[in-house]
Amino acid sequence: MRRKLPARVIAPLACATAAALIAGLGHAWPRPAPAAAQAASLRTAGWSQSWGAAMQRPLAGGEDEGPNWSVEGFGDHSLRQVVRLSAGGAQVRIRLSNLYGTRPLRVAAAAVARSAGGAQAWPGTTAALKFGGTRSATVAPGADIVSDPLPLVTAPLEKLAVTLRFTGATGPATFHRFTTQPAYRASGDHLSDVGAGAYTRSTDALYYLAGVDVTGGTGENGAGTVVAFGDSLIDGVGAAPGADARLPDALAERLAAARSPLGVVNAGIGGNRLRHDSACAGEKATARFARDVLDRPGVRAVIVHLGANDIRDTPGDPCLRPGGPATAAQVIDAQRRLVRAARARGLTVVGTTILPMKGALFPVWTPQVEKNRDAVNHWIRTGGAYDAVLDADRIMADPADPDRPRLSYVYQDGLHPNDAGYQALARGIDLRGLR
């Protein structure tokens, strides 16, 4: 049975996606000016990000979300993490982050292999990664590093196993708190192991690995990256573990079926807010937007879903401190800041309405929260700030009570989409608006 997720992680968010949407549910606005579109096209040349995650400060795990290794870090260990690419190419490289590290991160060696499921690698596919021509790398506190290009032909939706070897204490680890794909740890040097026997421990979190980039793919529309940016709905709360069933996953599958070379990056953080940092849910969205969206290689479009954690009313929740519930006007103002930043870089920007919150099995809803949700959603639909709107609210709403989500689309917490809900949202995306 899937464990119950904590209230602080399962903060509402209505997904996100690209340009035009389900007939009658979305509103398309004018595309960026030609000069901005040309600038965006120039940035997509070369490398694109095929997989990515938003990094967070070390945080001890709890009873609900399970343990993690971020506070203790790593010592004499091999760390294997499996990622599913959204777009393929002829070369790959990885990005490692020591954003919240307290000391230099020393990586003795790193390797990539084709995944054979779990912590296993396909025999004969392991290849060493290099950094500036050497096998080892040191990442300064607050910095990240990109590996040298590795010739490796990859296909959309292919899974890679990325293994990092540490020989000394790393200190607390920069990580991503929630994931549906475990990370695996082995004591000692098991960098090139094909089997999973040594990888006896796992956690549902990611460590240091911030992105996997590709280049050299083919496609008449060229390469590029779509970043899904937001809170727990983007992060994938409610999706089945190990099933690649989150909204960005479903979008990547649709793009792959359409033979589009676009990459899709999941830059969601469960519980994230627009206006305030959180010890549990990362830096505020307005502060992390440049790092998690604008600075990713090849980005041409961003899907935004935020605001639910700002307006919700959950007294006593330590993850909502500092700052109490925001007004609709404050949420709208913060979203406008994100749109302006994206516009300045020539990106297509897609807004997503906040999904129904009434009926959640933890306290997030009040009549005032509903008033703010309605006001924010009305602005997203009609304000003209976004190039397009995905009306997740109407897609997810119960026809008998639109303030509640329909049971066939909702996870057991009564709020987040289940796999069917995420698929329904993904089906509302007009892929032509992302290319």
Pairing of strands 127-128, 109-114: antiparallel
Structure token pair of residue 283: 């830096």
Question: CA separation (Å) from 320 to 8, 43, 274, 275, 276?
Answer: 8, 36, 12, 11, 8
Distances (CA, A) of 26 to 168, 193, 266: 52, 49, 22
Residue type, 103: R
Q: Identify the pLDDT of residue 67.
A: 93
Q: Tell me the backbone φ, ψ of residue 146, rounded to 5 degrees.
A: -115, 135
Rounded to two decimals, the pTM is 0.89
Compute the average pLDDT of residues 158-166: 98
Structure token digits, residue 188: 């000692």
What pLDDT sits at residue 363?
87
The token pair that represents 87 in the structure block: 């777009």
Among 32-41, 70-79, 314-323, 412-421, where is mean pLDDT lowest?
32-41
Gap between the Cα atoms of 339 and 373, Å rounded:
19
DSSP secondary-structure letter at 407?
A: G
pLDDT tens digits, residue range 250-282?
999 999 999 988 999 999 999 999 999 998 999
**219: pLDDT confidence band, cut at 50, 70 and 90?**
low
Percent above pLDDT 70 for the chain: 88
Segment 3-33, tens digit of pLDDT: 344 333 333 333 332 222 222 233 333 333 3
Which pLDDT band holds residue 35 (cuts at 50, 70, 90)? very low
Residue pair 29/382 in contact (Cβ under 8 Å)? The answer is no
